[in-house]
């Protein structure tokens, strides 16, 4: 991934504004430390901060066509770029080996329909200068794995600013909104248009397809496979929980397959940039003795990964919170709790030379894995909640995974949010996903990878490779990351906030913060720190707080241990 920044239809002299644009783009350089680019065209400015993963020798951006009438800046990865290149009807001269350049050439042929053709995670802005008035087309991936914001100045509403993060806009724009996932913006009419319209998107449409375990498994394997497209060393984030362990197990198998293919002449690896590295690296973090560290160690031994285990102290975590909030651009409690150890781990990972990791985000939303799903009153309500959670991932787990890692120029890819996998998983009837006192959460994905489950539909070839995971890992109870790094982490955050926020401050919280008033001292403290970084009222509009369904009778505390079903629930 990278950082993108652009100004469309600038109201003043764009050449005079160029240095200011470079300064605003520089605020994103943590996302793209490898190279920077800037193009001024007419009264438009397009900037790029590059993290080189694919096409590392020739993929500098902004990208242009031969006569520079179309300019493109992209953050993300396009996994089906080769297939899209074959779809081009007109001969096109590719200037780079980047997987993103196909967007430019396909746009020339089909315009805004290019958005729905892309399979990947992306945010991009394209400037088309061929008409008398330039056209801006900008788009964000279907679920919002990458981050993107759009800003304006009320005195100059015809000017549009685009940036990967809020921090590049907050000093320049008095109107800022999060760019909605699955949409494109077209300056022709000044509107957002939804291009991602899967049949499962409507929460009122209850899925009816019975689970096909083999299809579910094969879809996830395919999602991991396409995400191994990289020319740099990569690894996996391994907490030892179900989701990260499954992704790690599949990645190890697929890396071995890539190696076998690379050593033969019988098949071509269908991804430019795919490289085989001798051993998958896995990474975990926690307080000393944390549940996740112990579980991850066991999985790493089973998978034979090159495992890296990091510990941090409570004080190191507390010292990082202000920086975490600056990078996250949110004051949401659960996101900050989980992001802090992920932020610390990402810095350690980048120091090893690894630039891309696979992560397990999204599974809990897709399959109803959070412990509060045990309280769902009906199957239909269970299903509606999964759809809504997937639709809002861009405000929480996607935001965390993207910004915690990209703070250090590390790219995180999330196979569970592959759009083809989602098409399979989100159409499974909720009766097959329900959890209860007798059925563990996410049972269907566990069964799909359980070689001891008769209905999983394993082929003889799959069975010959042995189990994906040990049984006690495959069937480990859901542990939220902020809990799994050590139970004293959340407790210490609460104590820290209690020591810094007085009872009098809490009593007048609604006067201090009339918008989205914090309800706990921890939330109050995060809100204070957020407004130190982002004091403009416009910056509040993109923040959404994550809370369980209290109307289902469960705790409002986002920690998994706040739910009675947890084996180590709060007293």
**pLDDT, tens only, 142-171:** 999 999 999 999 999 999 999 999 999 999
Looking at the structure, tell me whether residues 476 and 329 fall in a common domain.
Answer: yes
Residue 99 annotated as binding site: yes
Distance between the two ends of the chain, CA-based, in angstroms? 43
Instruction: Give the Cα separation of 418 and 221 in Å (integer).
Output: 11
Of the pLDDT bands very low, low, confident and very high (cuts 50, 70, 90), residue 570 is: very low
User: How many domains in the chain?
Assistant: 2
Looking at the structure, tell me whether residues 264 and 159 fall in a common domain.
Answer: no
User: Is the predicted pLDDT of residue 265 greater than 70, yes or no?
Assistant: no
Q: What is the pLDDT of residue 527?
A: 98
Looking at the structure, tell me whether residues 134 and 257 fall in a common domain.
Answer: no
CATH number at residue 179: 3.60.20.10
Looking at the structure, tell me whether residues 137 and 222 fall in a common domain.
Answer: no
Q: What is the pLDDT of residue 270?
A: 45
User: Is the predicted pLDDT of residue 58 greater than 80, yes or no?
Assistant: no
| Nearest C-alpha neighbor of 364 from the set 118, 548, 163, 204 | 548
pTM tops 0.85, yes or no: yes
Q: What is the pLDDT of residue 187?
A: 98
Structure tokens at 210: 């019975």
The whole-chain average pLDDT of the chain stands at 92
User: Is the predicted pLDDT of residue 559 greater than 80, yes or no?
Assistant: no
- The pLDDT tens digits of the residues spanning 31-57 come to 999 999 999 999 999 999 999 888 777
Looking at the structure, tell me whether residues 278 and 417 fall in a common domain.
Answer: yes
Evaluate whether residue 119 is within a structural domain.
Answer: yes
Looking at the structure, tell me whether residues 148 and 258 fall in a common domain.
Answer: no
Residue 359 annotated as binding site: yes
CA 330, distance to chain mean position in Å, is: 15
Evaluate whether residue 203 is within a structural domain.
Answer: no
Residues noted as catalytic = 2
Sheet holding 191-194, edge to edge: 63-64, 70-78, 120-128, 135-140, 183-186, 191-194
Evaluate whether residue 183 is within a structural domain.
Answer: yes
Of the pLDDT bands very low, low, confident and very high (cuts 50, 70, 90), residue 92 is: confident
User: Is the predicted pLDDT of residue 184 greater than 70, yes or no?
Assistant: yes
User: Is the predicted pLDDT of residue 343 greater than 70, yes or no?
Assistant: yes
Q: Domain boundary residue among 128, 159, 194?
A: 194
Evaluate whether residue 567 is within a structural domain.
Answer: no
Give the domain extent around 62. Answer: 3-194
- The pLDDT tens digits of the residues spanning 102-146 come to 999 999 999 999 999 999 999 999 999 999 899 999 999 999 999
Evaluate whether residue 200 is within a structural domain.
Answer: no
Helix 333-351 × helix 521-533 angle, to 10°: 60
Q: What is the pLDDT of residue 357?
A: 97
Evaluate whether residue 207 is within a structural domain.
Answer: no
Looking at the structure, tell me whether residues 247 and 330 fall in a common domain.
Answer: yes
- The pLDDT tens digits of the residues spanning 451-501 come to 999 999 999 999 999 999 999 999 988 666 667 787 899 999 999 999 999
Q: What is the pLDDT of residue 247?
A: 98
Looking at the structure, tell me whether residues 182 and 310 fall in a common domain.
Answer: no
Looking at the structure, tell me whether residues 234 and 174 fall in a common domain.
Answer: no
DSSP state of 428: B
Q: What is the pLDDT of residue 275?
A: 57
Q: Domain boundary residue among 162, 194, 226?
A: 194
Looking at the structure, tell me whether residues 230 and 147 fall in a common domain.
Answer: no
Angle, vertex CA 280, rays to CA 292 and CA 269, nearest 5: 135
Looking at the structure, tell me whether residues 251 and 140 fall in a common domain.
Answer: no
| Nearest C-alpha neighbor of 487 from the set 248, 247, 322, 294 | 294
Contacts with 131 (C-beta within 8 Å, 6 or more apart), sequence order: none
Residue 120 annotated as binding site: no
Instruction: Give the Cα separation of 312 and 181 in Å (integer).
Output: 34
User: Is the predicted pLDDT of residue 337 greater than 80, yes or no?
Assistant: yes
CA 154, distance to chain mean position in Å, is: 31
Evaluate whether residue 461 is within a structural domain.
Answer: yes
Q: Domain boundary residue among 194, 224, 242?
A: 194
Of the pLDDT bands very low, low, confident and very high (cuts 50, 70, 90), residue 89 is: very high
Q: What is the pLDDT of residue 160?
A: 98
Looking at the structure, tell me whether residues 163 and 240 fall in a common domain.
Answer: no
């Amino acid at each position: 991934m990278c950082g993108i920044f652009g100004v469309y239809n600038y109201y003043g002299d764009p050449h005079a504004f160029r240095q200011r644009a470079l300064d605003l783009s520089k605020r994103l350089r943590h996302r793209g430390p490898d190279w920077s680019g800037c193009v001024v065209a007419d009264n438009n400015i397009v900037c790029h901060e590059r993290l080189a993963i694919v096409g590392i020798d020739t993929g500098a951006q902004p990208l242009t066509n031969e006569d520079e009438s179309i300019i493109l800046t992209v953050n993300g990865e396009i996994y089906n770029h080769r297939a899209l290149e074959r779809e081009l009807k007109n001969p096109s001269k590719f200037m780079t080996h980047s997987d993103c350049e196909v967007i430019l050439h396909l746009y020339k042929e089909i315009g805004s329909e290019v958005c729905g053709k892309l399979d990947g995670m992306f945010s991009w802005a394209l400037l088309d200068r061929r008409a008398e008035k330039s056209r801006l087309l900008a788009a964000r991936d279907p679920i919002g794995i990458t981050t993107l914001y759009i800003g304006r100045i009320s005195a100059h509403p015809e000017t549009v600013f685009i940036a990967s993060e809020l921090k590049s806009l907050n000093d320049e724009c008095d109107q800022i909104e999060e760019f909605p996932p699955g949409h494109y913006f077209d300056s022709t009419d000044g509107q957002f248009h939804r291009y991602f319209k899967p049949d499962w998107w409507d929460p009122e449409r209850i899925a009816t397809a019975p689970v096909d375990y083999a299809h579910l498994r094969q879809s996830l394997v395919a999602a991991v496979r396409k995400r191994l497209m990289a020319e740099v060393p990569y690894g996996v984030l391994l907490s030892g929980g179900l989701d990260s362990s499954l992704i790690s197990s599949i990645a190890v198998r697929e890396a071995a397959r890539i190696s076998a293919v690379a050593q033969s002449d019988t098949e071509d690896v269908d991804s430019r940039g795919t490289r085989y590295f001798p051993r998958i690296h896995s990474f975990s973090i926690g307080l000393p003795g944390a549940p996740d560290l112990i579980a991850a160690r066991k999985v790493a031994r089973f998978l034979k990964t090159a495992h890296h285990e990091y510990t941090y102290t409570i004080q190191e975590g507390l010292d990082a919170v202000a920086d975490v909030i600056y990078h996250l651009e949110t004051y949401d409690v659960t996101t900050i709790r989980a992001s802090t150890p992920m932020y610390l781990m990402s810095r350690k990972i980048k120091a090893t030379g690894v630039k891309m990791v696979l992560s397990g985000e999204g599974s809990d939303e897709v399959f109803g894995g959070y412990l509060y799903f045990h309280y769902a009153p009906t199957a239909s309500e269970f299903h509606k909640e999964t759809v809504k959670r997937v639709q809002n991932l861009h405000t929480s787990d996607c935001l965390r995974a993207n910004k915690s890692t990209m703070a250090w120029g590390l790219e995180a890819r999330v196979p569970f949010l592959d759009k083809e996998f989602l098409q399979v998983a989100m159409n499974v009837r909720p009766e097959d996903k329900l959890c209860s006192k007798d059925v563990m959460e996410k049972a269907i994905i566990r069964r799909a990878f359980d070689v001891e489950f008769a209905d999983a539909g394993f082929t003889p070839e799959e069975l010959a490779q042995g189990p994906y995971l040990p049984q006690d890992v495959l069937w480990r109870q859901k542990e939220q990351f902020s809990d799994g790094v050590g139970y004293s982490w959340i407790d210490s955050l609460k104590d820290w906030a209690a020591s810094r926020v007085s009872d009098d401050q809490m009593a007048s919280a609604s006067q201090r913060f009339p918008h989205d008033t914090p309800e706990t001292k921890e939330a109050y403290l995060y809100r204070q720190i957020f407004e130190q970084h982002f004091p403009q009222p416009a910056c509040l509009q993109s923040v959404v707080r994550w809370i369980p369904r209290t109307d289902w009778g469960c705790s409002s505390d986002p920690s998994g241990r706040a739910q009675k079903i947890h084996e180590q629930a709060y007293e």
